[in-house]
Chains A and B, each alone.
Chain A
Amino acid sequence: MIETPHVDWLALSPTLALLGASAIALLGAVTVPRAALRVFSVAVTGVGFVVSGVFAGVVFDRSPDPTVLLSESMTRDQLGALAAIVLAGIGLVVVLVSWGDGRKDHVGEYYALLAASGAGMVFIVSASSLMTMFLALEWFSIALYVLCALDTHRRESLEAGLKYLIIGSFGSGVLLFGCALVYGSTGELGFSAIREATGADDPLFVTGMAMILAGLAFKVSAAPFHMWTPDVYQGAPTSVTAFMAGATKVAALVLTLRILVTAFPEQAEIWTVAVAVLAVASLAIGNLAAIAQRDVKRMLAYSSVSHAGFLLIAIAANSDDGATSLLYYLIPYAAATVGAFAIVASRERELGRPVSIAALEGLGWERPFIGVGLWVFMLSLAGFPLTGGFLGKLFVFSAIYEAGWWWLVVLGVLATALSLAYYLNIVRALYMRSGEVASGTVVAAGGSPPRDLLLDGAVAAGIVVTVGSFFFVQPLVDLARDAAASLPL
């Protein structure tokens, strides 16, 4: 009889739930009749994300101390569990948004891939060795490449898929090379084993670390590794964009935090500076480029680049407060971003063409609920009080200030001032009509489309989280602090 290692099924349960949902959705794609396929797939994936979130909650509850599993291929801890809960929430909302897509073909595949990529993300936030990290990264990335290109009748979608595939693979290649260098110089794969293995600052080792950071920066879409972001966000189906902007960022940032503080604490002097440089570049490029955009999805893409900057500041703090503020800020950020893309998706369906800022004109008066939603999301992304985005920025800034980097606070504040120009531009379009309508832009004929209750529900959830995280900040921060405590900070 072969000795098998003990498998902690509970730690794997959030991932397995989504994998199961993905498999069932895939089976359904060929067995369930066309008429019922959409209902079936949405129900299966929706339940999958809920079950995954619940399991992650149980893991969070039962893992006060981090446990390393299977020769450090993954860690069962509250950090991974909290991130998995957030990811499951994002996934569920995206499923709700996808309902009204009006997708004619690849219905089953769409939902199966969504669940599969969610499973990869839920796994990667607990990954704690170079091998599992790379596998999980490819796992969710490949699913996303396909999702981006799923609208085969739209050239933009194919372009997005191809661009994401090429640039994403390049990023993965850099990451993999970095992993190889680190493994070569230490002979270890596990994050904490790497930490213990290093003594001197081997140049190969440091190069490897830099390449790992660069590879992750591709996924985080931090400048200067953000080149793919605007094109892919713009071309991909909007609900997929929502998922990428929300979930990929959460997964990649939590992983970045985990690997940097677990595997490379000795090199903190190097990587904190590197992360700060990435953050500053993202803030500058993201905000300046966003101002010039006329397409809402492109604008939100650059906004997500700039938010990568804000969130990386939290990692650069390299402190307990920094990790806590990152985990807190991800919650209102994800809610506002996914909510904003949901609204763009709804407008897109209504108009039947890409949503420019001009196409939002008067939306606030025509659809008060959607208008207020987008208003709240923009205010949160801009960091206005009464939304969680404000406290997130405040918390991040105070963490980096305590780390002694006051100039990052000043830069962050200036970036925020710059970002108002484009966020408030959206609010302006919503409520303040320019008066004249350019010829040939009047589209909405034949009355308003039927109300999409699931999408409204998604927007409502976004509003509740965005505003709720402002008023009930302390309970959320307590959770985030518990989660951050699983890191060796």
Chain B
Amino acid sequence: MLTTLLIVVPLVAALVVWVLPLSAESTAGLALLGALAEVGLWVGGARNFDFSSQEQQYSASREWFSDLGISYSVGLYGFQYWLVGLTVVVGAAAVGYAMWVGRDRPRAYYGLVLFLVGSLVGVFSSQDLLLFYVFFEAMLIPIYVLVGVWGGPRRVQATVTFVLYTMTGSLLMLASIIAFGISQGTFELADLGTSSNDWIFLGFLAAFFVKAPLLPFHGWLRLAYTEAPPEIAAILSGVVSKAAVFGLVWIVLPHFPEPVDDLRGLVLVLAAATLVYGSLLAFRQPDIRGVVAYSSMAQMGLIVLGIFSVNDLGLDGAILHSVNHGLVSAGFFLLAGMIETRAGSGEFARLGGLAKGRPALATVVLILGMFTLAVPGSSNFAGEFAILAGVFQRGWGYAAVGAAAIVLAAMYALRLISAILHDRRAGGSASEPGDLVGGELALVLPLVAILAVLSAWPALVTERSFPLDQPRSFIAGQEQAP
């Protein structure tokens, strides 16, 4: 029941916001109220969520299209609860940011953002393959318009590229879903058996690798993350990319043990290449969003490394790192927006020296930068460490590449920090006023606070993601395989 509520509340809020002819302020207020109610629901649900249980919780199921064995079936396991939590928190921050900036055409805007949040929650809580696809696709509808209408100067190109890339991936997945579901007679994830068909497996990978994105599928990334409004870029990199994580962990690994085993090497190489390539590109970008975009791609490569190490450490690390990275990159995109409104641009050539007289901004940028470079003691460090330890069991080479990438992360993160805060450049914006003000801090600080809590206690997530042997039963099978 709670899961359904978590999905329906933002959707209903979206409809209400869109239909009611209110003023811009009241519309934004109402939208924020909806987003906060969602966070409240999640926190309330967490108190009663039994993280040590192997059972699916808060599940709900209804007949929908029984001729094909498709039902509305939702529920949450531990790791899904964290992903949903990430969604509602970032969603609320995004709505808050939009309210702070004051978007044009507020009714449509907030309606679409809430619709996006609702479908993301749906993605992370589906227990039916086709329902998952429905939400997975539904979230493209608002993104297409949000980027295309409220984005930067090249917004139309950005949104068209993004949608064509992701739809091509998703439609290949649809073919796989049909082939898989029809041959098994059901689409219920719990009832679906395993398949050893490499083609079906590759169809799923296509969708998730575009979404993540991994190396050859990242053509949409730079434009989409740069041209989207900052809060939408925050949702895109922070949450939407995690749909790939969910798909890989919950659909690909349990249902395709043989193909995973056969093609693991290929995927690991791709993921490691993404990690290195993304880090190098991030180091070379001339603006804030470029750095965050490619660092985000690199981190997704790391997460996929963790997932495809297919062992406890790797999976735990992947989920923890998904939450970390979601919060950090969302925070950074919001910060990028705040800096862009001050300096008129996010290009390093026009920034620099912002630390002087702006203690709050400097502190927040520095903290998030430290998280990005995974300074020991941060939750990102815990996540990366677990992933590297996990993938080490698959081959020391991958772990070595991953460790080298942490050095690269330090390079681009430090470059980012100094380019924003320290370097003084001719024509820089150092003389213009404006530290972060209360409203902005209220958006970023909660994200930082959650990261701080996770840093102090990373086991909060890792030990509560995959309790006991759910889904370790399939991992056990994996490990026995030669």
The contact of A474 among B65, B135, B155, by CB within 8 Å, is B65
User: How many chain A residues touch the partner (CB < 8 A)?
Assistant: 34
Known contacts A386-B138, A398-B178; decide if A474 and B164 are in contact (CB<8 Å). no
B contact residues around A413 at 8 Å (CB): 171-172, 174-175
Among A390, A397, A428, point to the contact of B160 (Cβ < 8 A).
A428
User: By the criterion CB–CB under 8 Å, are A424 and B179 in contact?
Assistant: no
A475 to chain B, nearest CB (A): 11
The residue in chain B whose Cβ has the minimal distance to the Cβ of A473 is: B65
- How many angstroms between the C-alpha atoms of A394 and B137 in the bound complex? 13
Tell me the A464-485 residues at the B interface (CB within 8 Å).
473-474, 477, 481
What does DSSP make chain A's interface, helix, strand, loop or mixed?
helix
Chain A CB within 8 A of B134 CB? yes
Which listed segment binds A: B144-152, B309-317, B465-473?
B144-152
* A474 with B179, Cβ < 8 A, contacts A384-B141, A386-B134 known: no
Contact yes or no, A417 B141, CB < 8 A? no
| Chain B, interface SS category | helix
Q: Chain A: which residue is nearest B168 at the CB level?
A: A417
Interface presence of B360 (CB below 8 A): no
Interface membership of A488, Cβ < 8 A: no
Mask of B99-128 contacts with A, CB within 8 angstroms, 1/0: 000000100000000000000000000000
Q: How far is the CA of A324 from the CA of B67 in the complex (A)?
A: 10
> Would you call A401 and B156 a contact (CB within 8 A)?
no
Known: A379-B141, A398-B68, A398-B178. A385 touches B63 (CB 8 A): no
Q: What mask results when residues 394 to 435 of chain A are scored 1 for a CB within 8 Å of chain B, else 0?
A: 110110011000100110011011001100100110011010
| CB pair B145 A416 closer than 8 Å | no
**At the interface, yes or no: B217 with Cβ under 8 Å from chain A?**
no
Q: Mark A310-327, 1 if CB is under 8 A from B, else 0.
A: 000000000001001000
Contact partners of A379 in chain B: CB under 8 A: 141
Which B155-175 residues sit within 8 Å CB-CB of chain A? 155-156, 159-160, 163-164, 167-168, 171-172, 174-175
| Residue B457, interface by CB 8 Å | no
B223 at the A interface (CB under 8 A): no
Q: Which residues of B contact A431 (CB under 8 A)?
A: 145, 148-149
A365 within 8 Å of B by Cβ?
A: yes
In the assembled complex, the CB of A284 is this many whole angstroms from the nearest CB of chain B, namely: 16
Interface residues of B in 197-226 (CB under 8 A from A): none
- Find the B residue at minimum CB distance from A480: B67
Residues of B contacting A414 in the complex (Cβ-Cβ under 8 angstroms): 171
CA distance A401 to B183 in the complex (A): 9
The answer to whether the Cβ of B64 comes within 8 Å of any Cβ in the partner chain is yes
A390 to B133, CA, bound (A): 11
Q: Mark B54-74, 1 if CB is under 8 A from A, else 0.
A: 000000000111111000000
B1 at the interface (CB under 8 A from A): no
B28 at the interface (CB under 8 A from A): no
How long is the Cα–Cα vector from A256 to B445 in the complex, in angstroms? 65
B476: interface (CB < 8 Å)? no
> B175's contact among A321, A410, A434, A473, by CB below 8 Å, is which?
A410
Chain A residues closer than 8 Å to B89, beta-carbon distance:
none
Contacts of B145 in A (CB 8 A): 427, 431-432
Q: Which of A401, A416, A432, A473 contacts B182 (CB 8 A)?
A: A401
Write the residues of chain B forming the contact surface with A, with a CB cutoff of 8 angstroms.
63-68, 105, 130, 133-135, 137-138, 140-141, 144-145, 148-149, 155-156, 159-160, 163-164, 167-168, 171-172, 174-175, 178-179, 181-182
Question: Which residues of A are in contact with B by a Cβ distance under 8 Å?
Answer: 321, 324, 365, 379, 384-386, 390-391, 394-395, 397-398, 401-402, 406, 409-410, 413-414, 416-417, 420-421, 424, 427-428, 431-432, 434, 473-474, 477, 481
